[in-house]
Amino acid sequence: MNRKNVILWTLYDFANSISTIVFFLYFSQWLVIDHGVSDFAYNMLFTIGSILLLMTAPVLGSIADKTYREQKYLNRITVFTFIFFVLTALTTLFFTGSVLLAAFFFLISNYLYQFSFVFYNALLEKIAPPEKCGTISGIGQAANWIGQIVGLVVTIPLASGAIYLFGAPGRAQTFLPASIIFFFLSLPMLLWFKLPKRETPITDITTISYAQEYKSQWRQFKDLIKEPNMRYFLLSYFFFNDAILTASNNFPIYLEKVFAVTDSTKSLLLIGILVTSAVGALVSGWASDRIGTKTSLMIILGSWAIIFPLMGLTNSFAFFVVLAILMGFFFGATWTVTRTAMVALCPKDKLNFGFSFYTIAERISTLIGPLTWGLITMLLANTGSMRYRVAIIAMGGFAAIGSVILSKAKIRETTK
């Protein structure tokens, strides 16, 4: 195991999470609360991004498997992600009336950010031996959550007005610093990460036909899911991740509409969630290497199916905070263990292609989840904050469906 590669891989996850949490927390509110964009329209940004991912990720993932170019693709996508984050930030700072333009730049930056994980996640198999895959995955995921804590701590003074840089005040102040920090901390991975030598011959990129790659995508996907365990896992992942991502994307709005909390309180609560997320990532990675990936994942999904309805039913903000902190633990655990499961299930010569559908299953779930959330909040508009409670309870149903489907899958275990 190359410790240098593990450190660089972990640092990259730390870096991109800084910008992600800032845009997640403040851009949603900049659009919906500050500029009156509907919840439905905001959620459709993620739906459009999912469609773009479906059209591009499998093709480039397949080519990367053949040409061993995943690191080059990751580097280029990271640079473009930074560019579009900066464009989003500059628009909110200096062209505050250009809401549609800011939304477009955010859509592209979020799409590119998700795209980068096709190649980033596939690198796990190359840096971690099978018996430590869960542990290394947990370390990377813990770095992600710690990065989000750093992102919040750095930008709280900017969002609150305690520190003012330039341009429009308020939430718009946070985006540019977060983007710059993200890129600066990503550079070590881009410059010094080295893939191990490939044993099988590498296909010359000049011999690749993009048209043929597009035509073969459906056949390759059918081959991938021909194995029933992979099919059950991806379908399960679609449903439970649907619930988790949709609730996550709408969490700041939920806090505002249901409990009317301030931005400072939201940030402090999110820091608490992120701390337990880091703990959840480390504990679940260690546990999955010892009690098994599937057992760990079944426990996690059962917990989500209980937590979401409880959050929607409680009127006590104190109890909601307890649930939110507990939710953080399972945030950290979910992506740690699912990434490990994907490495165990996917053929090693198709990891980038496989992780493209892992990422797409994650993002296509945002076709259904945001649509469900958006329709509930729109159809129950006359019920006030109750519509948000109904929406989050519905997410518990998706988690339960995912749990039932996953119970049918068998995952190859390499436990200690």
pLDDT tens profile 93-142: 999 888 999 999 999 999 999 888 888 887 887 887 777 777 888 888 88
φ and ψ at residue 76, rounded to 5 degrees: -65, -40
Residues 344, 133: contact at Cβ < 8 Å? yes
pLDDT for 206 equals 61
Mean of pLDDT values over 295-313: 92
Give me the chain's average pLDDT, please: 84
Q: So what's the pLDDT on residue 136? A: 86
Backbone angles phi, psi at 262, to 5 degrees: -80, 165
Alpha helices, DSSP H, located in 255-385? 263-291, 293-313, 317-345, 351-379
Above 90 in pLDDT, residue 81? Answer: yes
179-188: per-residue pLDDT in tens?
999 999 999 9
Q: How confident is the model at residue 168 (pLDDT cuts 50, 70, 90)?
A: confident
Q: Give the rounded distance of the alpha carbon of 347 from its chain centre.
A: 23
Would you say 77 and 85 are in contact if contact means Cβ atoms under 8 Å apart? no
pLDDT digits (tens, 9 = 90+) for 283-295: 888 888 888 888 8
Q: What is the DSSP string of 55-81?
A: HHHHHHHHHHHHHT-HHHHHHHHHHHH
Mean pLDDT across the stretch 325-353?
82
What six digits make up the tokens of 101? 């333009």
Percent of the chain with pLDDT over 70: 91
Rounded Cα distance between 30 and 18, Å, is 18
pLDDT of residue 217: 67
Structure tokens at 266: 């939201």
* 8 A C-beta contact, residue 81 and residue 109: yes
Q: Can you tell me the mean pLDDT for 166-182?
A: 90
Query: Do 151 and 21 form a contact (C-beta atoms < 8 A)?
Result: yes
Q: Is the pLDDT of residue 201 over 70?
A: no
Angle at 413 between CA 411 and CA 416, to 5 degrees: 160
pLDDT tens for residues 340-393? 888 887 777 777 677 776 777 666 655 677 778 888 888 888 888 899 999 999
> Tokens at residue 81, please?
């992600």
Q: What is the pLDDT of residue 371?
A: 79
- Greater pLDDT, 112 or 35: 112
226-238 pLDDT, tens digit each = 778 888 888 888 8
Q: Which fold has domain 3-190+211-406?
A: Growth Hormone; Chain: A; (1.20.1250)
Tens-digit pLDDT profile for residues 240-290: 888 888 888 788 888 888 888 877 787 788 788 888 988 988 888 888 888
* Strand, helix or coil for residue 390: helix
Burial 265-296 (b: 16+ CB within 10 A, else e): ebbebbbebbbbbbbbbbbbbbbbbeebbbbb
On the question of pLDDT at 319 being above 90, the answer is yes
Give the per-residue pLDDT at 50.
79
Residue in 144, 117, 94, 107 with CA at minimum distance from that of residue 23: 107
Tens of pLDDT, residues 1-19? 678 888 998 999 899 889 8
Please tell me the distance from the alpha carbon of residue 140 to that of residue 73, in angstroms, as a whole number.
20
Position with higher pLDDT, 156 vs 84: 84
Closest CA to 406 of 222, 241, 218: 241
pLDDT of residue 270: 78
Q: If you write DSSP's letter for every residue of 181-217 in order, what string do you get?
A: HHHHHHHHHHHH--PPPPSSPPPPGGG--HHHHHHHH
Q: Which amino acid is at 308?
A: F
C-alpha distance from residue 88 to each of 92, 105, 170 (Å): 6, 5, 15
Looking at residue 104, what is its pLDDT? 94
Q: How far apart are CA 395 and CA 304, in angstroms?
A: 9
| Cα angle 84-97-92, degrees, rounded to a multiple of 5 | 35
The pLDDT value recorded for residue 200 is 60
